[in-house]
Chains A and B, each alone.
Chain A
Amino acid sequence: MLSFLYARQSGLDDPVRLRRAESTRRVLSLELNHNRDVDRIHGNGINTLDIEAIDGRYMLSGGSDGVIVIYDLENNSKKPQYTCKAICTVGRSSRHVHKFSVETVQWYPHDTGMFVSSSFDKTLKVWDTETLKPAEEFQFDGNVYCHHMSPIARKHSLVAVGTKDPKVQLCDLKSGSRIHILQGHRGEILSVRWSPRYEHILATASTDSRVRVWDVRRALGSLFTLDQHNGDKSKASSEAVNTAHNGRVNGLCFTADGLHLLTTGTDDRMRLWNSATGENTLVNYGKVVNESRKGLKFTVSRGCSPEFVFVPCGSSVAVYGLHSGELITMLRGHYNNVDCCEFHPDYQELYSGGKDCNVLAWVPVLRQPDIEDDETNSKRGGAQAAINPAFVDAWSSDED
């Protein structure tokens, strides 16, 4: 660490290198900390989490009871022990609350004045954060599994919605219309994601085992379908030709630079694709347990040197190296299935929510301060011993 600081100071190294090394170290030391807690409001499982992109201060969560909660993540008290308070909720008593479970919530990408939520009651609601009333409501024919708004869009404000219908619907927030549809899938759409690199590129995943990448400006159809065998037709059985997975594809995530796309499927596999060509990079993550009947929300770290993927696997969150495919660690702490996880890029923290109604905050372990002077410590009269921990007698027993 000191060598990194010195190299940056003397100009040997790029400033980004120190930042990346420290972010990586922090992500590798993620663990549950009794100092950080999130208010427990939900009475039923938590399906989705979203942290706003501008400040990283407010977090939205949507639950199976239809309740939506907004938390403040910033620690303004001077103490290390902090509970992320829920600032406001759209609870069961509100007139406009969703009737069934909320599947996806997302902040409006440009400010926190608005957020969009979609639910199994077949509606997509656009809420005003100030009044907590829906400014717009879109009705659909089938359960809405997921929706996504492009985080970088300047020229359009389309919300892509994946429902039980094989057609992907695009709702325009500026005009309120939803006539734009994307046809091509043959099964329910379980996950949709806009690319963080190009504002017109959209990826959709469906129960027909296919993942399609679209350019919404193009009228004809999808740009390409992801093929797990990279066109080598000899490997697949004849029904499985041109599919991304051997089962339902239920999770999609772009990496932060938008160059790669990760997909997870119910064949217990996760695959990494080159998002420009659609080529399977053949990184082998092993068995990524996936039994989710609806979409799985997973996330990729940002700003670290080997990037990490955080995937909910049963009741723990698995951390894999993005390009190496090795399982780094499993974050255990939830009592029941984990449904969603969200990475906070500025503080390298991970928030995960699951069926046990808890949102857990995984915080990097800080370096312990070194014990320098004996006198200053004894003056403070603190609980810290002034002896070097290597000399502390931790093995002999009093009974001998």
Chain B
Amino acid sequence: MSRKRALIADTFCLTKRRRCAADSVTADGAADIRSSLQYLMTLFSRKLFNDSLPPVVLKHQLYSLHNDKTSVDKQVNELRENGDLLMFQLGFDSEAFALVFAEDYRTKVLQGEAGRETLGTVEKFLAKLIPGCSDLSFNKEKMLKEFLFTDPAITQLVKSGVLTVRDAGSWWLSIPNSGKFIKYFIKGRKAVLGMVKKSKYGEILKTELEGHHTTSQVKFQMKYHIHEIMGAELVESIQTTSGTLLRYVDGNVN
């Protein structure tokens, strides 16, 4: 008799499905993502940046909390269409996207701009951006024609940090003062991966890693980094009877 639990197709589980259909309704799927996002935002350490950055979450951290990646992507896109969430290309990895709640972004940017002469242009840009536009980058045509910005106005936006240069005539949407965030993030990620790699057999229980004391390299909370490396599949997560085991995956470029 085989000890392994066999995989059963959905079609053969009809009776079980009917009974618990009422419990697991996916209608509140969107609410799920929002609550996961809020949970992840609490893991973000605000004090580190003197409160000048809005809480930033990476899209693949959500993959570590939910099983179905496609539905996570769909729901994130829905939230972006509604104008609740903004997505940014961080630049160090073409697949790493940062997510920020739109209201947080707006308050932090205006807070950072208060007192500077670029305030007016930035306000105008945010007003155009937040309700309607869900793009990650803008090119010159769009800025001049659709948004009706002049060249000096675009320069002011770049100076204030809301836009960063992508190539001649096009810009990425970005978070002001996010350079420090990216620096600490990459260093921290490398340090946490090193911790997993150095442990015996290259694997460590997730709870043990969370309890590990953080080195000076790791500025963020351990849980933030752990969700990130699990979601990006830089470590393999294996379910064991003592919890989740994280195993270092060879062939990582880091």
Q: Give chain A's interface residues, CB within 8 Å of chain B.
A: 1, 3, 21, 24-25, 28-29, 232-238, 240, 246, 267, 269, 282-287, 289, 291, 305-306, 324-326, 328-329, 365, 368, 389
Contact = CB atoms under 8 A, between A and B. Distances in A.
A377 B69 CA distance: 50
Given A267-B95, A326-B68, 10 more contacts: A1-B12, A25-B8, A234-B138, A235-B137, A237-B89, A282-B70, A284-B69, A284-B70, A284-B72, A286-B233
B1 A368 contact: yes
Contacts of A269: 95
B148 interface: no
B136 interface: yes
B9 A305 contact: yes
24 contacts: A25-B8, A25-B9, A28-B8, A29-B7, A233-B137, A235-B89, A235-B136, A237-B89, A237-B167, A269-B95, A283-B70, A284-B69, A284-B70, A284-B72, A286-B69, A289-B251, A291-B251, A305-B9, A305-B11, A306-B9, A306-B10, A325-B70, A368-B1, A389-B1
Nearest to B167: A238
B136 to A, nearest CB: 5
Contacts of B24: none
Interface string B6-48: 1111111010000000000000000000000000000000000
B10 to A, nearest CB: 7
Interface residues of B, number: 32
Contacts of A3: 14
Contact of B7 (A1, A284, A329): A329
A325 B6 contact: no
B170 interface: yes
A61 B254 CA distance: 38
B170 A238 contact: yes
B123 to A, nearest CB: 22
A287 B63 CA distance: 11
Interface string B166-189: 110010000000000000000000
A282 B73 contact: yes
Given A234-B138, A286-B69, A28 B94 contact: no
Interface of B: 1-2, 6-12, 14, 63, 67-70, 72-74, 89, 94-95, 135-139, 166-167, 170, 232-233, 251
Contact of B233 (A236, A238, A287): A287
Instruction: Rank and list the top 10 A-B pairs by shortest CB-CB distance, nearest first.
Output: A284-B69, A287-B233, A234-B135, A28-B7, A234-B137, A24-B9, A238-B167, A234-B136, A325-B70, A21-B11
B193 to A, nearest CB: 15
B2 A365 contact: yes
Nearest to A319: B7
Contacts of B74: 282
Nearest to A283: B70
A246 B6 CA distance: 36
B68 A29 contact: no
A324 B68 contact: yes
Given A234-B137, A325-B68, A284 B12 contact: no
Contact of A246 (B12, B89, B94, B136): B94
A329 B233 CA distance: 16
A245 to B, nearest CB: 10
A291 B69 CA distance: 23
A1 B167 CA distance: 60
A123 B121 CA distance: 64
A286 B232 CA distance: 8
Given A238-B166, A291-B251, A368-B1, A326 B6 contact: no
B140 to A, nearest CB: 13
